[in-house]
Amino acid sequence: MYEGPLQDLIDELGRLPGIGPKSAGRLAFHILEMDPREAKMLTEAITTVKEKVRFCEICGNISAHEKCQICTDPRRDNTIICIVEEAKDIGIIERTRSFRGLYHVLGGAIDPLNGVGPDQLRIRELLERLKDDQITETIIATDPNIEGEATATYLSRTLGVLGIKVTRLASGLPVGGDLEYADEITLGRAFEGRRQVE
């Protein structure tokens, strides 16, 4: 529709999740109209995040260091690990202030239709962490959708033989939804009402 750099920007913005063609166009025009200093700050922020943000070597959370703040916090309960699909889920759970344990990020969910099996997830790393005798409980906090449920079922079977208590977030989260869209109260109640997986 437009020529050259503006269309290139619209195309690139349109590749972002949740950004359709109209939103991409609006964002591109907003960037075009920005003060040059503000535009430079935006590009520097994007460059910096790509250069400096990494994943925690222990749990897979987003971190500026080799180990994230949660893994290095001595006040955390190191007997419980909450298993989530993505690093963004940690921030959502942390906002509830209902959980003070540690986390493990799988890096996705089992999704055979898209070629994602257990071997593509960070399950091996989880099993290594569970060799630590201090761990007494794992909480499965995958999304309440088909992929999340398949992942939870796989994990409950795999972890159930280790002699560690395996729980799943309780109801209150809508089936077919994502943790990202759950409000703090609903998510907090789901934590309080979690149950052991049988």
Confidence category of residue 183, pLDDT binned at 50, 70, 90: confident
Q: How far, rounded to the nearest angstrom, does the alpha carbon of residue 87 sit from its chain's CA centroid?
A: 3
Predicted local distance difference test score (pLDDT) of residue 195: 76
Tokens of 88: 């963004």
Residue 45 structure tokens: 């922020």
Distance between CA 66 and CA 87 in Å, rounded? 15
How far apart CA 9 and CA 41 sit, in angstroms, is 17
Tell me the CA end-to-end span of the chain in Å, nearest whole number.
Answer: 56
- Please tell me which residue, 48 or 198, carries the higher pLDDT value: 48
What residue type is 44 in one-letter code? E
**In the predicted model, what is the mean pLDDT of residues 22-28?**
94
* % of the chain exceeding 90 in pLDDT: 72
Per-residue pLDDT at 90 exceeds 70: yes
Residue 63 pairs in a beta bridge with: 54
- State yes or no: pLDDT of 171 exceeds 70: no
How do residues 138-150 score in pLDDT, each as one tens digit? 999 999 888 998 9
**Tokens encoding 106:** 């799988």
What rounded mean pLDDT belongs to the chain? 91
State the pTM of this model.
Answer: 0.76
Indicate the range of 82-91, 111-120, 186-195 predicted with least confidence. 186-195
Q: Which amino acid does the sequence have at 187?
A: L
